[in-house]
Amino acid sequence: MTSQASAPSKVILFGEHFVVHGVKAILASINKRVKISSKKIEEKSVIVKSNIGSIKIPLHESVKNIRTPFRPFFFIVKHSLNEFGFNHGVEVLIESGVPVGVGLGSSSSCCVAAAASISGLFTKFSRDKILELAINAEKTIFPNSSGADCTVCTFGGLIEYDKKNGFKKIESQPNFFLVIANSGKTHSTTKTVAKVMKFKEGNDSVFADLCKKESQLVEEAIFSLKQNDLQAMGKSMNENQKYLEQIGVSNKKLDSMINLAQKTAYGAKLTGAGDGGCIIALTDETNLDKTMKNFEGMYECFSTKIDYAGLDTF
């Protein structure tokens, strides 16, 4: 028996970094997916195979001793075997269409799909239960994870998130394309968050004012999303980018890419931690191709739409 699951990746539309300091963020799942296939095996090991490498880990190992990006998969298998009393191993195959380490939620979508696929060998969990397992798995690599990425990868569509109130689904289905261009530079979220903290400590009143502006901008963006007002939403994206530049998480390469995108798109900004990774540009059918051509021959670039389906099991 093979248990399969697929989960979308994500982008942060608004609020990255400021969300750490209590401001609301808006996240969207996108139709770039990870597929996970799992099967029981006689060998008492966890075998993980992917296009970035493979690993075999004996079941007697402790999760905390595993020093590999595949640690969340080992965690999910161990948790499932203990819960359902299975005394053998599991083989996991990862098929991903999501670039790694560039702010598109590759690890979160993998954790969600793996939680569904591996647990599916034994039972059918609810989405809420799968989400809980996925967040705990992701925390084996990112201990301070808010769970926002896993949430949007599980349920799809758009969500708003803040530290005080948690998650709330944005019940709207606006119709637009996002052009995503990859700078080709991976980044460290931990290092970039630390950089922002240093900026805050040295510019306390400036940062407080930026948080206030960002909070207002996010509310305006939610209204624009619900109205499918791409002109207003694009304007908010451009303004958000200025705030991100001010706190030091953009760079010359990202600025150049954003300037390229803004020539034809409604708006553009970096997404995720910054200091590398990807930029997103807001388009529709009228300016999609023009915006894609801006990056032709220079950067990996693709178009996406919001994925409203979320987690799928089969």
Q: How many CA atoms lie within 13 A of 61 on its CB side?
A: 19
Per-residue pLDDT at 187 exceeds 80: no
Number of domains in the chain: 2
Same structural domain, 34 and 49: yes
User: Tens of pLDDT along 66-113?
Assistant: 989 999 999 999 999 999 999 999 999 999 988 887 788 899 999 999
- Give every CB contact of residue 60 below 8 A, 6+ residues apart in sequence: 44
Alpha helices (H) in 22-101, listed in sequence order: 71-84
Both 65 and 95 in one domain: the answer is yes
**Per-residue confidence at 304, pLDDT binned at 50, 70, 90?**
very high
Sorting pLDDT into bands at 50, 70 and 90, what band is 186?
confident
Q: Are residues 205 and 136 in the same domain?
A: no
Q: How far apart are the first and last CA of the chain?
A: 12
- pLDDT per residue over 216-270, tens digit each? 999 999 999 999 999 999 999 999 999 999 999 999 999 999 999 999 999 999 9
Largest CA distance in the chain: 61
CA distance 246 to 241: 9
The predicted model gives 196-211 an average pLDDT of 96
**Among all chains, which residue has been given the structure tokens 């996010």?**
218
Long-range contact pairs involving 251-256 (C-beta distance under 8 Å, separation at least 24): 251/275, 251/276, 253/183, 253/185, 254/183, 254/279
The pLDDT value recorded for residue 97 is: 86
Taking alpha carbons only, the member of 138, 166, 148 closest to residue 29 is 148
- Report if residue 182 sits inside a domain: yes
Average pLDDT of the segment spanning 55-72: 93
| Domain extent at residue 53 | 2-171
Where among 171, 194, 216 does a domain terminate? 171
Task: Give me the phi and psi of 85, to 5 degrees please.
Answer: 65, 35
- When pLDDT is averaged across residues 13-36 and rounded to a whole number, the result is 95
Same domain? 88 vs 144: yes
Query: 225: domain CATH number?
Result: 3.30.70.890
Our answer to whether residue 149 is catalytic in this structure is: yes
Task: Report the alpha-carbon distance of residue 15 to residue 28 in Å, rounded.
Answer: 12
**What's the residue count for the chain?**
314
Are the beta carbons of 18 and 45 closer than 8 angstroms? no
Residues 295 and 230 in one domain: yes
Indicate if 148 and 91 belong to the same structural domain.
yes
Structural domain includes residue 312: no
Residue 314 domain-assigned (yes or no): no
Rounded Cα gap, residues 175 and 306, in angstroms: 8
- Kind of pairing, strands 89-96 and 45-50? parallel
Q: Provide the pLDDT for residue 94.
A: 97
Domain contains 99? yes
pLDDT of residue 189: 82
Model pLDDT, residue 145: 83
Query: 149, 162, 275, 307: which one is catalytic?
Result: 149
Percent of the chain with pLDDT over 90: 87
**10, 30 contact by CB (below 8 A):** yes
